[in-house]
């Protein structure tokens, strides 16, 4: 059992320091009052001995009142005119006051160093500005030449070149049309000449006109190709180089400016860095002084973080004790928020998820049951403990959800047993796992009928350590035989030879019955009564009597139930009984802390 909100106050002062004052152990402290907005503290009003009000005005002019309940150890941390941020403490209970006299003296000396560094920085900044203005004219001239070169380049690529292309394409279009006309005339003259209406001379003239039109078209296409592949590239390269050269001239002007300003800029950067170093050092001293006053960050009860070592004297927290940096001084457990840290075995971790309900029984309150919910589940196993270093367990945190008045009665360190409810189902037909025979992918059960034992092929569902859900093949009230391998070994061997090697059956060992005769002869097959069981049969024990060790006996087929902490499903009854093999009906099933079962019928825990 631990507090869900457990805050530890540690020394944040560098090196070592001394506790000047500390709040008495066992004192109940209240949570601090934090500013709700960014703004300025405009007033601190006294409203009696037990109450004050701090007014903070935001940048929008809105004023927010922060009431402070003044306790015996409550202190106001701000004063009128202070600038505060949202979340900053305005008042709270003082828990520890550390010695800050040496830090305060260092802060005063550092304040002087910061003032000098700031004056040097301002002078260096003015020198830089003066030098920069002297170089503006040269850079402006170079900038103008570069922009004009850019305009020439854009004019050619976006206007002049496209205009030339359009002119040539226009001539190509006209030449194409003239070629088409010449071809038509040639074809016409050719047809008429065959009929004798045109002479060969006229036909030759038409052919020459076609050739001329083709040459004109090819010439214009050649001009377009030369423009696109050669003239354009040459002209573009010329304009591009002009623009690049103008840009390089501009860069050279800037480099000359930078070279002349290098000395003043370097001086400015050095002064700036020096000022920042001095300012950071001052802020660090101020933070260290603030860390000497430790305010309770939440409500809780003060517990001193005394530490004991084997080979040295124990460290006792009290006024006058010298503490080191990061040493724990006070712990503030919040008793209104408690949790249980449980260790879950790796075989059950897959069934666990945040949000599952849980029942919690605490040894200090044996007659009460607390309620909770799974809050977090670790994704990595905990380290093994002696002697089982190979044991893989995962930590799960169960948050207690009862009323605050009940939770506040609990204390850290109490031992608790947790029953986590995985699933709840009603009307589940189930039989003891000892009644099932698995052969390959098939499952069989032996049912005791009026004609004798009858083998049936069944379909199973979910299972746990004691019972298995039946989906098909059996009906409620039928009697099944437990451990049929001892009675029907030959028949089962034939099934295994026919359907293949059986899967490894994970069946719990049958608890031994009454001692048998020397020699270990198997006892008789005893059927159990059919119907809904008020409680499930014990492992390997029939309803009418338990078989001797190694005997095959029948179990019950029943419906409903809860799955116990180790996966045992417990049938529903008018009186809630314990898990199989635990005890008589009427009590709640015992469970191991934090061991959930696989999903199954009924309440699975």
For residue 83, the model assigns a pLDDT of 93
Which two tokens mark 343?
């260790």
- 273/271 Cα distance (integer angstroms): 5
- In 235-333, which ranges are E strands? 293-295, 300-301, 303-304, 322-324, 328-333
- 371-409 per-position pLDDT tens digit: 999 999 998 888 877 778 888 899 999 999 999 888 888
- 307/8 Cα distance (integer angstroms): 14
For residue 324, the model assigns a pLDDT of 92
Cβ(152)–Cβ(239) under 8 Å? Answer: yes
Q: State how far Cα 37 lies from the chain centre.
A: 30
State phi, psi for 465 to the nearest 5 degrees.
-75, -15
**pLDDT band per the 50, 70, 90 thresholds, residue 556:** very low
Cβ(242)–Cβ(153) under 8 Å? Answer: yes
Cβ(370)–Cβ(402) under 8 Å? Answer: yes
- 416/343 Cα distance (integer angstroms): 12
The neighbour count for residue 183, using CB atoms within 10 Å, is 15
Strands 442-449 and 416-420, sheet pairing: unpaired
pLDDT at position 257 over 90: no
- 509-552 per-position pLDDT tens digit: 434 333 332 223 333 333 333 333 333 333 333 332 333 333 33
For residue 335, the model assigns a pLDDT of 80
- 564/424 Cα distance (integer angstroms): 11
**pLDDT band per the 50, 70, 90 thresholds, residue 572:** very low
pLDDT at position 434 over 50: yes
For residue 501, the model assigns a pLDDT of 55
- 315/308 Cα distance (integer angstroms): 6
For residue 340, the model assigns a pLDDT of 93
For residue 500, the model assigns a pLDDT of 67
For residue 509, CA distances in Å to 293, 460, 521 come to 64, 20, 18
DSSP 489-543: HHHHHHHHHHH-SPPPP--PPPPP-S---TT-----------S--SSPPPTT--S
Average pLDDT estimate for 11-36 = 93
For residue 309, the model assigns a pLDDT of 56
pLDDT at position 596 over 70: no
Query: DSSP assignment, residue 23?
Result: P
- 489/550 Cα distance (integer angstroms): 13
**pLDDT band per the 50, 70, 90 thresholds, residue 308:** low
Strands 39-46 and 357-362, sheet pairing: unpaired
State phi, psi for 94 to the nearest 5 degrees.
-80, 125
Which two tokens mark 269?
């950067």
The neighbour count for residue 290, using CB atoms within 10 Å, is 14
For residue 462, the model assigns a pLDDT of 81
- 325/308 Cα distance (integer angstroms): 18
For residue 518, the model assigns a pLDDT of 26
**pLDDT band per the 50, 70, 90 thresholds, residue 560:** very low
pLDDT at position 108 over 90: yes
Tell me which of 145-149, 225-229, 378-382 is least confident: 225-229
Token pair 């031994």: residue: 512
pLDDT at position 107 over 60: yes
- 34/593 Cα distance (integer angstroms): 40
For residue 306, the model assigns a pLDDT of 81
Alpha helix (H) ranges present in 439-508? Answer: 489-499
Average pLDDT estimate for 289-301 = 92
pLDDT at position 315 over 60: yes
Q: SS3 of 239, please?
A: helix
Nearest alpha-carbon partner for 484 in 389, 555, 534, 532: 555
547's CB contacts (< 8 A; 6+ apart) are 482, 483, 513, 522, 523, 524, 525, 526, 540, 541, 553
pTM score of the predicted model: 0.49
State the Cα torsion 569-575-580-584 to the nearest 10°. Answer: 180
Strands 83-84 and 416-420, sheet pairing: unpaired
User: What is the percentage of the chain residues whose pLDDT exceeds 70?
Assistant: 81
Which has more pLDDT, 64 or 166? 64
For residue 194, CA distances in Å to 150, 191, 199, 210 come to 65, 5, 9, 19
Burial class (CB in 10 A: 0-12, 13-18, 19+), 429: buried
Name the average pLDDT for the chain.
79
């Amino acid at each position: 059992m631990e507090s869900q909100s457990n805050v530890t106050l540690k020394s944040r002062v560098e090196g070592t320091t001394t506790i000047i004052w500390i709040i008495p152990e066992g004192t109940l402290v209240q949570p601090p009052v934090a500013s709700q907005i960014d703004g300025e503290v405009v007033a601190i009003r006294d409203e009696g001995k037990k109450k004050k009000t701090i007014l903070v005005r935001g940048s929008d002019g809105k004023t927010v009142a922060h009431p402070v309940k003044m306790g015996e150890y409550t202190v106001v941390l701000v004063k009128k005119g202070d600038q505060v941020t949202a979340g900053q403490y305005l008042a709270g209970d003082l828990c520890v006051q550390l010695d800050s006299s040496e830090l305060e003296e260092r802060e005063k000396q550092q304040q002087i160093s910061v003032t000098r560094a700031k004056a040097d920085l301002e002078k260096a900044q003015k020198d830089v500005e003066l030098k920069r203005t002297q170089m503006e004219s040269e850079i402006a001239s170079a900038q103008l030449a570069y922009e004009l070169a850019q305009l020439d380049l854009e004019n050619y690529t976006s206007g002049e070149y496209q205009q030339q292309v359009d002119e040539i394409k226009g001539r190509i279009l006209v030449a194409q049309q003239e070629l088409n006309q010449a071809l038509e005339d040639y074809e016409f003259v050719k047809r008429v000449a065959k009929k004798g209406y045109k002479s060969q001379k006229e036909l030759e003239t038409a052919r020459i006109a076609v050739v001329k039109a083709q040459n004109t078209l090819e010439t214009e296409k050649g001009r377009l190709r030369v423009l696109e592949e050669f003239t354009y590239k040459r002209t573009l390269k010329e304009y591009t180089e002009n623009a690049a050269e103008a840009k390089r001239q501009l860069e050279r002007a800037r480099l000359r400016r930078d070279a002349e300003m290098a000395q003043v800029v370097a001086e400015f950067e050095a002064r700036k860095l020096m000022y920042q170093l001095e300012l950071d050092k001052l802020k660090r001293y101020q933070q260290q002084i603030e860390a000497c006053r430790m305010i309770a960050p939440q409500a809780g009860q003060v517990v001193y973080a005394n530490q004991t070592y084997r080979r040295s004297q124990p460290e006792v927290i009290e006024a006058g004790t010298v503490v080191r940096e990061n040493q724990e001084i006070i712990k503030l457990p919040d008793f209104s928020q408690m949790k249980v840290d449980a260790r879950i075995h790796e075989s059950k971790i897959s069934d666990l998820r945040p949000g599952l309900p849980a029942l919690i029984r605490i040894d200090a309150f044996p007659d009460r049951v607390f309620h909770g919910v799974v809050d977090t589940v670790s994704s990595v196993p905990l380290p093994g403990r002696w002697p089982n270093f190979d044991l893989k367990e995962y930590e799960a945190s169960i948050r207690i959800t009862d009323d605050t008045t009940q939770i506040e009665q609990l204390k850290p360190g109490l031992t608790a047993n947790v029953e986590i409810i995985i699933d709840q189902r009603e009307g589940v037909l189930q039989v003891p796992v000892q009644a099932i025979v698995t052969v390959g992918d098939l499952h069989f059960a032996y049912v005791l009928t009026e004609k004798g034992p009858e083998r049936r092929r069944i379909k199973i569902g979910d299972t746990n350590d004691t019972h298995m859900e039946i989906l098909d093949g059996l009906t409620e009230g039928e009697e099944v035989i437990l451990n049929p391998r001892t009675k029907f070994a030959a028949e089962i061997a034939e099934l295994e030879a026919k359907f293949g090697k059986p899967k490894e059956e994970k069946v719990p060992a049958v608890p031994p019955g009454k001692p048998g005769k020397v020699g270990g002869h198997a006892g008789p097959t005893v059927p159990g009564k059919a119907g809904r069981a008020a409680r499930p049969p014990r492992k390997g024990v029939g309803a009418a009597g338990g078989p001797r060790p190694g005997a095959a006996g029948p179990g019950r087929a029943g419906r409903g139930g809860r799955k116990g902490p180790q996966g045992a499903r417990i049938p529903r009854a008018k009186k809630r009984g314990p898990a199989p093999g635990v005890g008589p009906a009427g009590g709640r099933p015992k469970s191991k802390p934090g061991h959930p079962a696989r999903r199954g019928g009924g309440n699975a825990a």
